[in-house]
Structure 1
Amino acid sequence: MTELNLDEDKIKQIFKTAIVEVIQEQKEVFSDLLTEIIEDIALEKAIKEGESTEIVSREAIFKILGTKR
């Protein structure tokens, strides 16, 4: 088996090239992944903000939304 000797800069460049190729060749997949990441971050932020606010009943929420159960 052949041993590979790659320095850190060469490894970084290989990874950067691979990532750019994936982004270019799989734009839709990458876009979906990025969208999911942003949604997860927004949800986490909303949950944290909600932990420090006043508790509201389920009925009050549905009343605001104008839906009937």
Structure 2
Amino acid sequence: MELSISDDKTKELLTEVMIELLRTKRDLIRDILLEALEEVGLANAIAEGRKNEFVSEDEVLSIIATM
């Protein structure tokens, strides 16, 4: 016996799961997003340093701290 569900039902179920995750795991999601933003900031600082003069570790950390 094979079980199948429609694309609309799948989308509805996934939406419900995402909403539930946002409600119950808010702190975890916030931490994940913050970590991702810090990584982007670090990547941008590294890229900027490669185009111009060397960027010191202190400068990179101060940029990240302001995010």
Higher helix proportion (structure 1 or 2): 2
**Larger-gyration structure (1/2):** 1
Unaligned runs of at least 5 residues, structure 1: 62-69
Q: Deviations over 1:10-30 (max 9, x none)?
A: 212211211110110011111
Structure 1 partner of 2:64:
none
SS class of match (1:3): coil
Structure 2 partner of 1:28:
27
TM-score normalised according to structure 1 size: 0.66
How many correspondences in the alignment?
A: 58
Once superposed, what is the RMSD of the aligned Cα atoms? 2.3
Give me the identity figure in percent.
Answer: 31
TM-score normalised according to structure 2 size: 0.67
Indicate how the Cα distance of structure 1 residues 16 and 53 shifts in structure 2: closer, same or farther if over 3 A, else same: same
Within 1, Cα distance between the matches of 2:53 and 2:34?
30
Unaligned runs of at least 5 residues, structure 2: 59-67
Within 2, Cα distance between the matches of 1:5 and 1:21?
23
Moved over 4 A (4+): none
Deviation at 1:56, TM superposition (A): 6.5
- Report 1:1-69 matches (<5 A): 2-55=1-54
